[in-house]
Amino acid sequence: CSLQSSRTLEYLNLSRSPTINGRFLRDVRNSCKESPLKTLIVRNCLKLQEKEVLELCNSLIKGNFKSIRHIDVSNNRGLVSDDGKRSYKPKFPLEKLKEERSDVTLVADFPSPRSVKHYPVCHEEDDEELRKIEMMEDDASSSDEESSEDDASSSDEESSEDDLG
């Protein structure tokens, strides 16, 4: 982990990184205990492991990472559990973390696969709706052009009257 050499890093967002896994969190725990890091976001990192997030929580409870204030480990696909399957209900010591480190916010949202609604990429009705939207946009742009032409002609008339008067 090269975070050790960064003495000024306060915010780190590695969301959706394909290489962030349990080893990364382990390295963060070991090398960045006294760093100024305040925010760590590793949202939707597919290889993130449940046991390493648990160890990070335990390290926070022990008083490590004094500067950290916000950690987000949420993942739409859950965390990798010990058996290699996806875990949507990890058991983190959140109550104890709140007691010991009330200054730390841990965001750990793992919606179950059944609660996530999947939408098809294209639907037959989509073409019709897109056509209607395009027609409305065309109508709006043509009425805008007409009103700007009216404005231009009325300002021409006003300037002509000013010249006469």
Question: What would the pLDDT profile of 36-81 be if each residue is shown by its tens digit?
Answer: 889 999 999 999 999 999 999 998 999 888 889 999 999 999 999 9
Q: For residue 135, what pLDDT is reported?
A: 65
pTM, to two decimals: 0.63
d(C-alpha 37, C-alpha 1), whole Å: 14
DSSP 98-134: HHH-TT-EEE-----TTTSPP--S--HHHHHHHHHHH
